Amino acid sequence: MADMNTEKLNQALSATDASIRLRAALTAGTHPDLALPEVLLERCAVEPDFFVRDMLTWAITRLPTELTFPALVAQLADSRPQARSQHLHTLSKLREPATWQALPLALLHDPEVEVARAAWRCALRVVPAEEQPRLARELLGELGRGTPEIQRSLSRALAELADEVTALLHQVDTPDAAVAAHARATLHLIEDPESDFLADLAAAQRVAVLGSAQEN
């Protein structure tokens, strides 16, 4: 029966209609089956619809952690960026205590920015208090990366580690205008969480560029 369930689930999750795939993922979570983790994890790696992926994540969290956690960690080495990012997202939902030790910190600097962003979020959810300084240093290494929206995501992550990063942000001294501006905007976000980060970043970029021009 388990094999038949797996076969039917595979067929439904491969349907052209996203609503059919969504119902299949909902059914998998409503009626957890120990034969299904592999099917659900594989579909996460290729599913194009956000809502279906989110339902797949929920279905995975409904299964025993002793089955899903090792499989999710193993999938973090997958060559497909979506697999890495989605499984990081799922791990952040599980909040298994062993996640921090199992999390490759290189993912915080993954060449695929969406993978890196998922790793930032996951790390924040699972980092033990004594490891927060280490995480803060890792995240500071990402200053200046990506679009303003990506930089906002990193700044929000850094703001959650305000006690660890504030002094370090004040010490940022670099000729890289993008890094300097991002550090300045992050400090403003920490000081005023309701501030308009994108406007602050644009202003900080103008200041950084002007300062760089004057030095030259």
54's CB contacts (< 8 A; 6+ apart) are: none
pLDDT tens figures, 133-179: 999 999 999 999 999 999 999 999 999 999 999 999 999 988 899 99
Residue 31, exposed/middle/buried by CB under 10 A (0-12, 13-18, 19+)? exposed
pLDDT tens figures, 28-69: 999 998 888 999 999 999 999 999 999 999 999 999 999 999
Q: What is the pTM of this model?
A: 0.89
Residue 80, exposed/middle/buried by CB under 10 A (0-12, 13-18, 19+)? middle
143's CB contacts (< 8 A; 6+ apart) are: 154, 172, 178, 179, 182, 183, 186
The three-state secondary structure class of 108 is helix
Identify the CA nearest to 25 among candidates 10, 4, 7: 10
Q: Is the dihedral of CA 60, 61, 63, 69 positive or negative?
A: positive
DSSP state of 105: G
Contacts of 23-32 with C-beta under 8 Å, sequence gap 24+, read 25/52, 25/55, 25/56, 25/58, 25/59, 26/55, 26/59, 28/56, 28/59, 29/55, 29/58, 29/59, 29/61, 29/62, 30/62, 32/59, 32/62, 32/63
Identify the CA nearest to 87 among candidates 135, 18, 96, 145: 96
Identify the CA nearest to 131 among candidates 107, 153, 101: 101
Q: Read off the pLDDT of each residue in 94-117 and give the average, rounded to a whole number.
A: 96
Residue 215 has what pLDDT?
A: 55
